[in-house]
Amino acid sequence: MPNTKAYAAYAPDQDLKPFEFDRRSVGDDDVKVKIDYCGICHSDIHFAHDDWGMTEYPVVPGHEIIGHVTEVGSKVTRFKPGDLVGIGCMVDSCRECTPCKNDLEQFCEKGMVMTYGSPDPEMGGVTQGGYSSQIVVKEHFVLNISDKLDLKGVPPLLCAGITTFSPLNQWKVGKGQKVGVIGLGGLGHMGVKFAAAMGAEVVMITRSPEKGEDAKRLGASSVLVSTDQEAMASQAGTFDFLLNTIPVAHDINPYMPLLKFNKTMVLVGATPIEVHSMQMIFGNRHLSGSLIGGIKETQEMLDFCAEHNIVSDIEMVNIQDVNTAYERVMKGDVKYRFVIDMKSL
Amino acid sequence: MPNTKAYAAYAPDQDLKPFEFDRRSVGDDDVKVKIDYCGICHSDIHFAHDDWGMTEYPVVPGHEIIGHVTEVGSKVTRFKPGDLVGIGCMVDSCRECTPCKNDLEQFCEKGMVMTYGSPDPEMGGVTQGGYSSQIVVKEHFVLNISDKLDLKGVPPLLCAGITTFSPLNQWKVGKGQKVGVIGLGGLGHMGVKFAAAMGAEVVMITRSPEKGEDAKRLGASSVLVSTDQEAMASQAGTFDFLLNTIPVAHDINPYMPLLKFNKTMVLVGATPIEVHSMQMIFGNRHLSGSLIGGIKETQEMLDFCAEHNIVSDIEMVNIQDVNTAYERVMKGDVKYRFVIDMKSL
């Protein structure tokens, strides 16, 4: 009888249904975790629906995992049974290449092993994620979670959190800076919380003025409506940093002139964009992409959250409601992330 | 009788025809220059044709100016009559704002005064450029030119040269780096020369394999044909820097994966582009714009050219042939820049 209960997406209808499979037994440097909560990330939906043409069915999504350690291998030093831990988007990498040695496992030259949907170097087949009762992960990829935080809001930190924290951290956002967060969804709401906690003046930039109140509750000091050309023009050349979280194809020409010269917009949404080079040439402006963060930086983010009492705003659901939750995410009908209570499995 | 002969573009037919006007008399910090040569830049054509909707006719184009000093104001210390000098894209700025104080006059907060087509703070009307017999310019904006160089090829250094030198210089291109130059025109051919002289391994990236021989003559060590998907895939993740000089709307998705992680493509062509953020997110890759360079860096570029014997490959024309030259530039029929011999005026 398989040792792990889960929900998996199946072809051809792509709905998630009950699934059982075997996790590997605990190796010397492995940590076994009983999963308490798992966040629902938009990537889970793209993967379940094979939007990126790389899905092997059945697949168990989920890379925002919070749980308790139940067993550790003989060489594990940082964890013991009972510890509260997290697992994010990666569960392995080569640990020997230049990016790995520089704490950038997400750029491992041999390819990071993603928490689900990657070729599984230990078991064959593909890795299976966190919509499951338990998981076995190498110690290096297991994160410490502070019990000071409201645990239910912690899972999204492991993807939405690090995705927005990393660029704000890398570009040294802080006091005295004016930072714009474009788009108020799962990523954007974390971006506002982090940038405000880092001490920046945060401006929520959105097409939807009705999002203003919530943006201010989250930490924005003001709201800039991107369809208001006069307002946009009045703030041209005043921003030190822009975090663009828009998840659908769009034109960034209206936003680039908001930046001071030599400043940067970072894209974290996976989407096609258009821009006229003149918007970047006049002002030597920069556009960058940013992919999650390495394990070391993810731990720094979690520690920052514990220090500043930051979690995600979430709605809790049972695993049986995951297909409905997916539909609501696709309609943008969630403030701001769903988390699955794995007790319901 | 006006003191300056020139050729200007007129509305509505936009052709260039003879024009006469008055330059200002020499002020305390002014340098008067008799113009020997003036390069033809694609921007001149955009301006003459009012492609950017900002042209006041008649306009005298030309911002790649080489000549000899004929008179200096009482406070001028760096020049004397007879000196060989250059004037590029700017003739004034506020000199007091943060960008100006940091030798980035092109980002002057009050707006740089362009060599032609800007409101003229001294004379009223708009500034008039280098397709003319003489020019009067503030000392700060006048550049030293080495008489070691073949003068005929020097004018394009003042725009095509600094436009490509500055990003290569700012991103510290040099030995041990693999640099791709995309597009082999007026800008691209300077990019290849500079990157090679800086010590980098230069790869010419082009859709046109027939440009390969010339690229190698200019300093490229190899040619990568961008329509050859196999060749492009084989060089994915191997470039330290990409200089994109393509002057027409294009999709940069095929080029971004050539970069190593955390590396940059700089755009210097004025054109709309498309990119999928995934090409930047996977690899934390960067895209930047770059606008000419400040006066200090332009002088550094000219000194670098004198040290490495670098000039532009040019075709010399008489001023009477400027309209034909414009047509040939628009067809891409020049290797690699036209220079006007002002003796013909």
| DSSP states along A328-344 | HHHTT-SSSEEEEEGGG
Residue with tokens 């998981």: A135
Shortest CA gap A253–chain B (Å): 10
CA distances from residue A255 to A111, A228, A273, A274, A337 in whole angstroms, order as listed: 33, 12, 12, 11, 26
CATH annotation of A160-289: 3.40.50.720
Cβ–Cβ gap B288/A283 under 8 Å: no
Partners of residue B284 in chain A, C-beta under 8 Å: 107, 288-291
Q: With CB atoms and an 8 Å threshold, state whether A107 touches B284.
A: yes
Contacts of A110 (CB under 8 A, 6+ apart): A93, A94, A97
Residues 6+ apart with CB under 8 A from A233: none
Tell me the average pLDDT of chain A.
Answer: 96
DSSP secondary structure letters along B6-32: EEEE-TTT--EEEEEEPPPPP-TTEEE
Q: Which of B103, B112, B281, B297 to mutate to test the interface with A (most CBs of A within 10 A)?
A: B281
* Cβ pair A277:B285 closer than 8 A: no
Helix (H, G, I), strand (E, B) or coil at B67: strand
Helix (H, G, I), strand (E, B) or coil at A176: coil
Determine phi and psi for A175, rounding to 5 degrees: -55, 140
Integer CA distances (angstroms), B292 to B16, B60, B98, B176, B286, in order: 25, 20, 18, 26, 19
User: Of B314, B34, B326, whose CA–CA distance to B160 is shortest?
Assistant: B314
State the fold for domain B4-158+312-344.
Quinone Oxidoreductase; Chain A, domain 1 (3.90.180)
CB contact under 8 A, B277 and A278: no
For an interface test with B, which of A284, A286, A291, A292 has the most B Cβ atoms less than 10 Å from its Cβ?
Answer: A284
Q: How far is residue B264's CA from residue B335's CA, in Å, rounded to a whole number?
A: 28
Taking an 8 Å cut-off on Cβ atoms, the answer to whether B283 and A271 are in contact is: no
Residue A227 has pLDDT above 90, yes or no: yes
B261–A107: do the CB atoms touch at under 8 Å? Answer: yes
| Contact: B289, A272; criterion CB under 8 Å | no
* 3-state class (DSSP) for residue B84: strand
Residue pairs between chains A and B whose CB atoms are closer than 8 Å: 102
With an 8 Å Cβ cutoff, are B268 and A286 in contact? no
Average pLDDT over residues B166-176: 98
**CA A220, A222, A224, A225 torsion: positive or negative?**
positive
Contact B100, B93 (CB under 8 A): yes
- Quick: pLDDT tens for B184-217: 999 999 999 999 999 999 999 999 888 889 999 9
Task: Please state the three-class secondary structure of A129-174 as a single string.
Answer: CCCECEEEEEHHHCEECCCCCCHHHCHHHHCHHHHHHHHHHHCCCC
Q: State the pLDDT confidence band at B270, using cuts at 50, 70 and 90.
A: confident
pLDDT tens for residues B320-340?
Answer: 999 999 999 999 899 999 999
pLDDT in tens, A76-122: 999 999 999 999 999 999 999 999 999 999 999 999 999 999 999 99
Instruction: Give tens-digit pLDDT for A135-172.
Output: 999 999 999 999 999 999 999 999 999 999 999 999 99
| Average pLDDT estimate for B133-139 | 98
Which residue in B273, B282, B284 is closest to A277 by CB distance? B273
Contacts of B283 in chain A (CB under 8 A): 107, 289, 291
Which of A109, A187, A277, A297 is the best mutation test for B, with the most CBs of B within 10 A?
A277
Cβ neighbours of A279 in B, within 8 Å: 289
Check A261 against B99: CB less than 8 A apart.
Answer: yes
Q: Could you tell me where in chain A the CATH 3.40.50.720 domains are found?
A: 160-289
pLDDT of residue A1: 87
What's the token pair of residue A183? 């788009």
Is the Cβ–Cβ distance between A185 and A65 less than 8 Å? no
Q: Do A107 and B272 touch (CB under 8 A)?
A: no
pLDDT at A170: 97
Judge whether residue A270 has pLDDT over 90.
Answer: no
Q: Are B312 and B153 in contact (CB under 8 A)?
A: yes
Per CB-CB distance under 8 Å, the chain A contacts of B114 are none
Give the residue numbers in B contacting A (CB under 8 Å), as ranges. Answer: 99, 104, 107, 261-262, 267-291
At CA A162, angle to CA B274 and CA A101, rounded to 5? 90
d(CA A197, CA B165): 40
CA distance A83 to A193: 27
Which of B268, B272, B291 is the closest to A274 by Cβ? B272
Q: Supply the DSSP string of B300-331, one letter for each residue.
A: HHHHHHHHHT----EEEEEGGGHHHHHHHHHT
Q: Does A52 score more than 90 pLDDT?
A: no
CA of B272, closest CA in chain A: separation in Å?
Answer: 4
Mean pLDDT computed over every residue of chain B: 96
Asked if A261 and B290 come within 8 Å (Cβ–Cβ), the reply is no
Element containing residue A187 per DSSP (H, E)? helix A186-197
Q: How confident is the model at residue A281 (pLDDT cuts 50, 70, 90)?
A: very high
pLDDT given for residue B1 in this prediction: 86
Query: What is B157-171 written as a DSSP string?
Result: GGTHHHHHHHHHHHT
pLDDT, tens only, B234-250: 999 999 999 999 988 99
d(CA B336, nearest CA chain A) in Å: 22
Contacts of A284 in chain B (CB under 8 A): 107, 288-291
CB contact under 8 A, A270 and B285: no
Residue B52 confidence (pLDDT): 86
Q: Counting Cβ atoms within 10 Å, is residue B179 exposed (0-12), middle (13-18) or buried (19+)? A: buried
As annotated, the residues of chain B forming the CATH 3.90.180.10 domain(s) are 4-158+312-344
Whole-complex ipTM: 0.91
Instruction: Nearest by CB to B277, from A99, A267, A285: name it.
Output: A267
Are A283 and B272 inside 8 Å of each other by CB?
no
Confidence of residue B180 (pLDDT cuts 50, 70, 90): very high
Q: Which residues of A touch B291 (CB under 8 A)?
A: 281-284
Nearest by CB to B281, from A99, A261, A270: name it.
Answer: A270
Shortest distance between the Cα of A187 and any Cα of chain B, in A, equals: 14
Phi/psi at A54 (nearest 5 deg)? Answer: -130, 10
Chain A residues touching B51 at Cβ < 8 A: none
Contacts of A271 in chain B (CB under 8 A): 276-277
Closest CA to B216 of B228, B204, B207, B224: B204
Q: Nearest CA of chain B to the CA of A318: how many Å?
A: 32
Residue B231: both structure tokens together: 């060749």
Cβ proximity of A35 and A133 under 8 Å? yes
User: E-strand spans in chain B?
Assistant: 4-9, 16-21, 30-40, 65-72, 84-87, 90-92, 113-114, 134-138, 143-144, 178-182, 201-206, 222-225, 239-244, 250-251, 259-267, 272-276, 286-289, 314-318, 337-341
Q: Can you give the pLDDT at residue A177?
A: 98
The set of long-range contacts for B330-337, using a CB threshold of 8 Å and a minimum separation of 24, is B330/B45, B332/B185, B334/B186, B335/B189, B335/B214, B336/B156, B336/B184, B336/B185, B336/B186, B336/B188, B336/B189, B336/B190, B336/B312, B337/B39, B337/B40, B337/B41, B337/B155, B337/B156, B337/B160, B337/B186, B337/B312, B337/B313
Q: Are residues A268 and B290, on separate chains, in Cβ contact within 8 Å?
A: no
Nearest by Cα to B153 from B37, B296, B301, B295 = B37
CB neighbour list of residue B233: distance below 8 Å, 6 or more residues apart? none
B289–A277 C-beta distance less than 8 A: yes
Q: Which residues on chain A place their C-beta less than 8 Å from a C-beta of chain B?
A: 99, 104, 107, 261-262, 267-291
> Do B282 and A291 make contact, defined as CB atoms within 8 angstroms?
yes
